[in-house]
Amino acid sequence: MHPPSVDAIARELAKSFTLPHAVLVHCAREAVRDAPQDAQGVAQDNALHFSQSLLTTVVNGTGVLLHTNLGRAPLAMTDSHRPTNLEFNLANGERGSRHSSISELFGQLLNVEDAIVVNNNAAAVMLVLAALAEGRDVAVSRGESVEIGGGFRIPDVMEQSGARLVDVGTTNRTRLRDYERAIDSRKNDIALLLKVHPSNFSIEGFTEQTTISELATLEVPVVADIGSGLLDNTAPWLQGYLDNVPSWIAHEPAARQAIADGADLITFSGDKLLGGPQCGVIAGRADLVAQCAAHPLMRALRPGGHTLLALQNVLLSYSARTVCSQIPFWSMATTPLQELATRAERLIAATGVGTSVALDSLIGAGSAPGSTIASHGISLAGDQRAALRRHATPVIARTVANTTYIDLRSVHPDDDSIIIDAVNSLK
């Protein structure tokens, strides 16, 4: 028997995969080598495996609004072919700063003197520590010496930055007096007081924390890593959308309040509750921001123009109070329950399968842990997750007790048609 023809297998694959010919030939050649008896079938698996390894847009039916595995806050980036004035000053035609628009917008929104942007909040914390405390001590409450998902551990970041961690207080109670003692100790050379929002866990019971306002009474600069990037916990952008500010917002530490309370610098992520692109923001006192900007690490951590443009547009939405219609995370979070129920009914009518179910969406990304938003979706019999992931635009669902749930709060209404196609393809 002749070995199967690589070319014939690749041409067969082209009927079901829109991948470059060279990729299909590669899949076919490996299949012929590994399984000559079933080369076409194995080549098919190889091609599926390859296409599922590609980055692609997906429909998030999990109900986790900021899904870490799906890149947290969804956001459309510009698809213009044109360059931007990233480091070009349109006023005088000379070289400009890539941070000027962001600094101006954060200045107005947060009442800060200056702001810069790096690739993520881990980088922001690292840069602040390296620029302001290298070779010196940083005081952190034992209750805030935390690990945030994805391997961000305060002691490790501290060590990498070249700053030394000085633990203050105890795991459950840390008082102002503990920080004072650390500053006064002749053993220490405290450069900063670092407050870290424990984001994805909470300590309950006999607890006491020191607030930013209390720390601001001491003479050492206070840096607050607030994490989620909630701009303001009075959430003025919700007016006209929700009657009350939900408790998951009211209880999150927010940038504007942290600055008003006296933090000298704050750091936060761009792609959590801010609803923007992946980035990290350092905002606050101009002299401290300038020290961070001048540090050699800044060159390694600076974001690209696509990120800055997307962030700028998000901040303009906050200024315009169009957050709930323009920023996908906030649209999802504020969609009325009745609208979701109506969409579920429409999906069921269009596919002839599924059951309309009440669900609870999660905020996700370690923000507002434990808080849920009432939601609605559809359920399907059996575990359909793998089949839904194989759809041309993969649909990511959840399965509990052999029932598959698609939560519509995390799905853009325009994508209901994709869910209809995906569910129809299960039949």
- Please, what is the minimum distance in Å from the beta carbon of residue 393 to ligand PLP? 26
Q: Determine the Cα–Cα distance for residues 267 and 284; give it in Å rounded to an integer.
A: 9
CB of 312 to ligand PLP, least distance (A): 18
Q: What is the closest distance, in whole angstroms, from the C-beta atom of residue 226 to ligand PLP in the complex?
A: 7
Beta carbon nearer to ligand PLP, 105 or 258:
258
3-class DSSP state for residue 402? Answer: coil
How far is residue 331's CA from residue 275's CA, in Å, rounded to a whole number? Answer: 10
Nearest residue to ligand PLP, by Cβ distance, number only: 227
- Is 122 or 190 the residue whose CB approaches ligand PLP more closely? 122
CA distances from 243 to 50, 239, 311, 377 (A): 47, 7, 27, 23
Q: How far is the CB of 132 from ligand PLP (least distance, A)?
A: 17
- Report the residue number, 99 or 376, with the smaller CB distance to ligand PLP: 99
What is the distance between the alpha carbons of residues 228 and 225, in angstroms, rounded to a whole number? 9
DSSP string computed for 224-291: EEEES----TT-GGGTTT-SS--HHHHTS--HHHHHHTT-SEEEEESSSTT---S-EEEEE-HHHHHH
**Helical ranges in 81-175 per DSSP H:** 100-110, 121-133, 154-161
- Alpha carbons 5 and 266: distance in angstroms, whole number: 62
Nearest approach, Cβ of 338 to ligand PLP (angstroms)?
33
Least distance (Å) between residue 307 CB and ligand PLP: 12
Cβ proximity to ligand PLP, 281 vs 344, nearer residue: 281
Q: Closest approach of Cβ 359 to ligand PLP, in Å?
A: 25
Binding residues for ligand PLP, rule: CB under 6 A, are 120-122, 148, 152, 196-197, 199, 225, 227-228, 269, 280, 366
Element (H, E) at 215: helix 212-215
Backbone angles phi, psi at 174, to 5 degrees: -130, 125
| Three-state SS at 202 | coil
Nearer to ligand PLP by C-beta: 228 or 375?
A: 228
